[in-house]
Amino acid sequence: MLKATGAVIGDCAFYLDGDRAEIGCNISPAYQRRGLAREALQTLVAYCAEVYKVALIRGITDSRNLSSIRLQESLGMVRDRTFENRIQCKGETCTEYRFEGDCRAIFSPERTTI
């Protein structure tokens, strides 16, 4: 939700599996390239770290989504080169990459609050 207007501009989610979490977000095209995905993921990582004591964060993205790849890398996540998943998406065969990171290293209480 956009703070200034209350407009819904995307969604984010997480799936817990023990001390691991898979996270993701989608931002409406009209609101992309404004740092909102970064803000959403940092908040999600902080929430997982503080509330659920998650150790490992994972994110899965389409291999063609360079913005998502760069975002995950900028957060300190690295591509798991043992994982490559082929799926059908919008009538095309796509390849998914998985990125992983240490939740404690990504989460910085000084810059992110929930």
Exposed, middle or buried, 107 (CB in 10 Å: 0-12/13-18/19+)?
buried
Q: Give the other-Cβ count within 10 Å of 14's Cβ.
A: 18
CA distance 26 to 41: 10
Residues 42-74: tens digit of each pLDDT: 999 999 999 999 999 999 999 999 999 999 999
> Which pTM does this prediction carry?
0.84
